[in-house]
Amino acid sequence: MEAEKAALSGQVRNLDARRSPAIWRAIDLHRTISIRWPSMRITGWSRATPAEAEALAALFQRAEAVAPVGMEQRAEDVQNRLVTLGPDSAGRTRVGRDDTGSVAAYGEVADMGTADDVLRIRLTNVFHPDIADDVRAELHHWLIDQAKQLRDSRGSARAVLGTRSAENDRAGRELLIRGGFALARHERDLALAVPDEPSAPALPPGLVLTPVDERYDELARLAHNEAYADSPTAVRPDQRTWPQHATGHPRFLPDLSCLVLAEADRSDNPVAAFLFALADGSTDTPTVVLHCLGTRAAWRRSGLATAMISRVLHRARSAGVRQLRLKVTDSNHPALALYRKLGFVESGQGFAVLMRQLTPEADEQP
């Protein structure tokens, strides 16, 4: 038992060792994008490559310290993001460098799959806090043009664009609204201090809580996609991208992840619920992120999420983890109520999600 605790503690410490500099948060705490005097220019644009992961991570860290939207802040995570995009979407990335050669802007258009005959496209843009406003506008128009090309290449008549905006990014929000975007929801970032004695609720009969097992990896992917089927902007990975999204993620913590299996399943898939945990290196407090947490519709409101989180709390305490974090949309009232009941509170790192329809009729809109 002591050897197991030591191994798990080492796993968390090693993944936490390269956290982003906390001093940036203190320096930039007083700044918001809406009150800055931007002047930084871009001297050249190029496609993103995995070799630029370190430089992109540095940009993301700088931007997150001022206007957080949940971007990756470690080089291995950025590299994983680029790999997950695939060869097609990787061509729809753009890196801007300033006159010193430093990366100061990043744009990305990603195919998020089709739901109800509507192609879902995620737009991402990240800027150095001092970037000039016309650079933001230039990248915005490039993203929209690339999204139109992606829609046409997929043969889709309808597409919906989704993008994140920091709560304090007034300039970015206004640019999006002028371009036809509307606020869709807020993503809440919640945190929970690991208690000294977590509760241990029992599962209903016929269900078993088990560690993640590679034999169930494909079934877990199918369960994940089914659980998130009613979320229009959720990532629903295919077989190629699933490893980078979950069990193959560079910060995946297998000992703090779990599945709930139905002994007598009501379908061909015994995976009723899942929880995939990642190490979080962005804070000074040893933290675990509940990256993917979901329950298939047939087993909802049966206490499965509570049981899985309780298991993580027990194992986290022995590993020296002091905090859990997760994200949940403010429109998911049952989940939000559950997490608050368990003691999760707002961390202040949430963001807004804006969306826009992209149809041929709307192509004239900037």
- Digit-coded pLDDT (tens) for 72-120: 988 988 998 888 887 666 679 999 999 999 999 999 999 888 877 889 9
Q: pTM (2 decimals)?
A: 0.79
| Strand 323-329 relative to strand 93-97, pairing | unpaired
Give bridge partners of residue 158 from the DSSP assignment.
none
From the list 97, 26, 29, 103, the residue with the least C-alpha distance to 60 is 103
275: tokens are 């929880």
Distance CA 310, CA 29 (A): 34
Helix residue spans in the chain (DSSP H)? 2-16, 22-28, 53-66, 75-90, 133-153, 170-178, 217-227, 242-245, 304-318, 333-342
Asked if 218 and 239 count as a contact pair (C-beta separation under 8 A), the reply is: yes
Token look-up 């990603």 returns 110
Which residues, listed in sequence order, are joined to residue 283 by a DSSP beta bridge?
none
Under a CB-based contact definition with an 8 Å cutoff, are residues 183 and 232 in contact? no
pLDDT attached to residue 85: 81
Rounded Cα distance, 40 and 133, in Å: 9
Cα–Cα dist 359/307, whole Å: 44
In eight-state DSSP terms, residue 348 is: S
Please report how many Cα atoms fall inside a 13 Å half-sphere around the Cα of residue 187, on the Cβ side: 21
143 beta partners: none
The dihedral built from the CA positions of residue 335, 338, 340 and 342, taken in this order, carries a sign that is negative
- Whole-number Å distance between alpha carbons of 134 and 147: 20
pLDDT at position 144 = 95
Give the pLDDT score at 58: 96
Burial (Cβ within 10 Å: 0-12, 13-18, ≥19) of residue 43? exposed
Is 278:252 a contact under the CB 8 Å cutoff? yes
- Which residues does the chain have with pLDDT short of 70? 1-38, 87-90, 232-233, 265-267, 361-366
Whether the Cβ atoms of residue 11 and residue 257 lie closer than 8 Å to each other: no
Give me the pLDDT at residue 365, please.
59
Identify the pLDDT of residue 36. Answer: 46
CB neighbour class for 337 (10 Å; exposed up to 12, middle 13-18, buried from 19): exposed
Q: Tokens 């968390």 label which residue?
A: 12
For the stretch 191-217, pLDDT in tens is: 999 998 888 888 999 999 999 999 999
- Residue 38: the pLDDT is 59
Kindly report the number of other CB atoms within 10 A of residue 300's CB atom: 16
Kind and range of the H or E run holding 157:
none
Q: Give dist(CA 339, CA 314) in Å, integer.
A: 17
29-31-32 Cα angle (round to 5): 115
